[in-house]
Amino acid sequence: MQAVIRGSPAVPRLPMAPMPFKLGGVALSALRSYPNGYNSVSEQRRLLFWEASSKKDFKEFPVAVQKDMGVALFIAQLGRTASSAKPWKGLGAGVYELVEDHRGDTFRAVYVVQLADAVYVLHAFQKKSKPGIATPQPDVELVARRLKAVLARYGQGRG
């Protein structure tokens, strides 16, 4: 059988074996498939919310960083933790940080899970070149304020 692609000469189709695709250790073929070819990722996936300017700030990251962190956030939406996610210290369980180095710069995103079956990106920022690996205090305070605002909005306390 031959297929014609918009005015191009006939190109023979090569038989292709299905290849399993894994995302964060989850084989997508393991998800329930429907007769129309779609699968149930949306049934299992948590919603993703961006707090304040976090989405705008995230979109300013290099594309390669956005892709890597985007996959990690998708894994969080599936209820798992990406290997690149590290616990954010000081705000309790369920708050994670993604750190990506790119061409000598460090980019970070902080998100929280465990709130109403959703993932909330609290802050996305580029660490300015200061000595050491510690997160600058203004960024730490901003994460705490945004988490407090999210918790207040949803009437949940952490303890």
- 67 pLDDT band, cuts 50/70/90, is very high
CA gap 88, 67 in Å, rounded? 21
Q: pTM higher than 0.85, yes or no?
A: no
- Residues 101-140 pLDDT 10s: 999 999 999 999 978 789 999 999 998 766 777 889 999 9
Query: Between β-strands 118-127 and 47-50, what pairing exists: parallel, antiparallel or unpaired?
Result: parallel
The pLDDT of residue 116: 72
The pLDDT of residue 31: 47
- pLDDT surpasses 70 at 70: yes
The pLDDT of residue 30: 44
What's at 26, amino acid-wise? V
CA gap 143, 152 in Å, rounded? 14
What b/e sequence results for 59-74 when a residue is b if at least 16 CB atoms lie within 10 Å of its CB, and e otherwise? Answer: eebeeebbebbbebbb
The pLDDT of residue 19: 46
Q: Which helix (H) or strand (E) holds 112?
A: strand 105-115
DSSP 128: P
- Residues 3-16 pLDDT 10s: 444 554 555 555 54
Quote the percentage of the chain above a pLDDT of 70: 69
Q: DSSP letter string over 58-106?
A: HHTS-HHHHHHHHHHHHHHHTT---TTEEEPTTS-TTEEEEEEEETTEE
- Residues 10-40 pLDDT 10s: 555 555 444 444 554 555 444 454 444 445 5
